[in-house]
Amino acid sequence: MSRSARSLSHHRLLGAVLALLALLPASAPASGEDAWVPSPAVLARAARTPGRYDPAGNACTGGLTVGAASLRTLLARLFRLEDIGGYACRPNTANRSRLSVHAVGRALDVMVGSSRGDMIADWLLANADALDVQLLIWRRRIWRSGQANVRVYTGPNPHTDHIHVEVLEGADPNAGLAVRVHLEKALPV
Ligand SMILES: [Zn+2]
């Protein structure tokens, strides 16, 4: 791809993201507490997810799954993110008797500030079904597949500087591509 064609495709991609974000109503401000409050439209889409959760299991696996690696690449490109943590063989911070989903390569830590974080967390939640997302933790709230709302997250880390996102076992590595293609088709020519 030539440099100008690549630049054009980047602009189209950015346009696609902005077009989607324009469709999402802004999150209502949190009342008192600094917490994630997804919009009703985003929560309605989140409610359509299958209600499935694949736990971490008992052994570290050595790297990201193809589904998680694909989501990482998609987030980095769509939102120009440079710092996204992934595989780590370690216990769950909220329950140290169990392995973290990072240890089986299905969790990402998306390092973000609060305003972009709300936008990206909303985007992940709105597209959770297509992206095979099973769980999100952001700004003192947790969401699991099948839930129509976010709940209070009580783990020791409030997740105010990163979004923790997990994908299902066997998450489709082309899922993000389908979301992108869908967005690009929605753009006016
Ligand atoms: Zn994490």
| Cα 168-172-177 angle, rounded to 5 deg | 130
| 184: confidence class by pLDDT, cuts 50, 70, 90 | low
The better pLDDT of the pair 180, 173 is held by 173
CA of 164 to the centre of ligand 1 (A): 4
Distance (angstroms) between ligand 1 centre and the Cα of 85 equals 8
Backbone angles phi, psi at 133, to 5 degrees: -80, 130
pLDDT the model gives residue 178: 73
- Assess contact for 145 and 49: CB atoms under 8 A: yes
The rounded Å distance from CA 88 to ligand 1 centre is: 9
**Angstrom distance (rounded) from CA 45 to CA 122:** 10
More reliable by pLDDT, 118 or 19: 118
CA 43 from centre of chain: 14
pLDDT tens digits, 21-60: 555 554 444 445 789 999 999 999 999 999 999 999 999 9
Q: How far is the CA of 35 from the centre of ligand 1 (A)?
A: 17
Split at pLDDT 50, 70, 90, the class of 117 is very high
- Asked whether the predicted pLDDT for residue 109 surpasses 60, the reply is yes
Gap from CA of 114 to ligand 1 centroid (Å): 16
pTM of the model: 0.80
CA 168 / ligand 1 centre spacing (Å) = 15
Tell how far the Cα of 157 is from the centroid of ligand 1, in angstroms: 10
- Determine the distance separating the centroid of ligand 1 and the alpha carbon of 73, expressed in angstroms: 16
How many Cα atoms are found within 13 Å in the side-chain-facing hemisphere of 17? 19
pLDDT in tens, 66-101: 999 999 999 999 999 999 999 999 999 888 999 999
What does the domain layout of the chain look like in residue ranges?
A: 3-186
**112 alpha carbon – ligand 1 mean position (Å):** 13
Query: From the CA of 31, how far away is ligand 1's center (Å)?
Result: 26
Q: Ligand 1 centroid vs 160 CA: distance in angstroms?
A: 12
Tens digits of residue pLDDT in 3-24 = 666 665 666 655 555 555 555 5
